[in-house]
Chain A
């Protein structure tokens, strides 16, 4: 049981990482990784949404009519996303980040990771493992987001979390790094590194 739980938590972060292995959620990871702060808030939001919607869907999994299960899942996910958005807007500290992330918080609804985990895991498992699986998927997604954002903020704006690092020693900002194509190139590099590190991921 213990090793099974461990597997549930570690799999979405490493061997089954939503971005580098399943290649899901690419769109939002291009859009919100310009700055670390935004990426961190996005990572937390996705983690909360995947975790709680997996939990709720798992709790009601035996009552959901099979023909409308996707719609019910969507309603649950939409509820969680709107709640997260409302709370981000309500607090002074997160208001400006929510403004900066604008539509991408709302677009978590369409993030394939959320629906994918509910459909593949939560509907067939008990609530607690489902919650952990959802949270771990969000962490796996957020981890990649933060790695990409680290490089993009460092080389694009010369700062980390808004504090000058490279810009303090006279670095000229690289405009390409700020634009979405660079996120795609960085993601490619991360996938490459991940696959060469983990031989199981390579197709024969």
Chain B
């Protein structure tokens, strides 16, 4: 058979491509659910780490199923609030076609609220989760991840626990020019809404600072309303409890 004829070449390449495509489609279909579960568990473990339920390694150790179970047991509903107008007012660019942008807020039964943030680092996207106490102002913890920041420099936003530890106990101030500050050269003594930037990673620190502030501002109004709703609920509960105790 002449393997160099045009007809043979065309038929051969077509067959190879169809065959390879079929194999890939099959594998992708079979492994798809497992990959999705891994991705979900990864996101959840980042949220849980930010919310101070345990360190990242802990969630890896106990496995996907247990991590997701713990998350679902401790989650007090997953309110999704829409806030496009708020973002437009901040000149935040929104992709065409999306009328309402959904901003998820994860609330846990112990009162911790976790907000996702994302933005641009030096080499690629950076993202993370900020956990607030039930007053919606005090930061309980944070977790950040990145796609391609320099290891040992910008990569410290993820790898250096002491950077993340700075967030705990800080208080967001919406009256300030920037609700939260990552300050190059060190945060001023006693400033409640500022932490030290990473030495040698100015651009990553700036990017993270911008990401946090953009989203904190976007959440501001909604969080206030959200918090008001929560406090009303708890007050109602308290009054009901008081009444019942009176009856007894």
Contact = CB atoms under 8 A, between A and B. Distances in A.
Contact of A75 (B20, B34, B148): B20
B77 to A, nearest CB: 28
Interface stretch (B21-29, B79-87, B181-189, B240-248): B21-29
A5 B125 CA distance: 49
A10 interface: no
A62 B23 CA distance: 22
Contacts of A173: 152
B13 A68 contact: yes
Interface in B19-66: 20, 23-24, 27-28, 31, 34-35, 38, 41-42, 60, 63-64
Given A66-B4, A96-B42, A179-B150, A86 B35 contact: yes
- Does more than half of chain B's interface fall in helix, strand or loop, or is it mixed? helix
A89 B4 contact: no
Contacts, number: 70
A79 B20 CA distance: 7
Interface residues of B, number: 29
A163 to B, nearest CB: 12
Contacts of B35: 86, 89-90
Report whether over half of chain A's contact residues are helix, strand or loop; otherwise say mixed. helix
B13 A71 contact: yes
A6 interface: no
B31 A178 contact: no
B225 interface: no
Contacts of B91: none
Contact of B3 (A66, A90, A99): A66
A64 interface: yes
B174 interface: no
Contact of B152 (A62, A63, A92, A179): A179
Contacts of B20: 75-76, 78-79
A83 interface: yes
A204 interface: no
B17 interface: yes
B9 A92 contact: no
A4 interface: no
B63 A92 contact: yes
A67 B9 contact: yes
A75 B17 contact: yes
A136 B42 CA distance: 35
A166 interface: no
Contacts of A65: 3-4, 8-9, 12-13
B190 interface: no
Interface in A67-114: 67-68, 71-72, 75-76, 78-79, 82-83, 86-87, 89-92, 95-96, 99, 102
Contact of B60 (A71, A78, A79, A96): A96
A86 B30 CA distance: 10
A175 interface: yes
Contacts of B147: 102
A122 interface: no
A36 to B, nearest CB: 14
A158 B68 CA distance: 33
22 contacts: A34-B151, A62-B3, A63-B3, A63-B12, A65-B8, A68-B12, A71-B13, A72-B13, A76-B20, A79-B20, A83-B24, A86-B27, A89-B31, A90-B34, A90-B38, A92-B41, A99-B42, A102-B147, A156-B152, A175-B152, A178-B151, A178-B152
Interface of B: 3-4, 8-9, 12-13, 16-17, 20, 23-24, 27-28, 31, 34-35, 38, 41-42, 60, 63-64, 147-148, 150-153, 200
The 9 closest A-B pairs by CB, nearest first: A178-B152, A90-B31, A90-B34, A65-B9, A95-B38, A89-B35, A79-B20, A178-B151, A65-B3
Given A86-B31, A87-B31, A96-B60, 12 more contacts: A34-B151, A64-B12, A65-B3, A65-B8, A68-B9, A75-B16, A86-B27, A91-B34, A92-B63, A102-B147, A179-B151, A179-B152
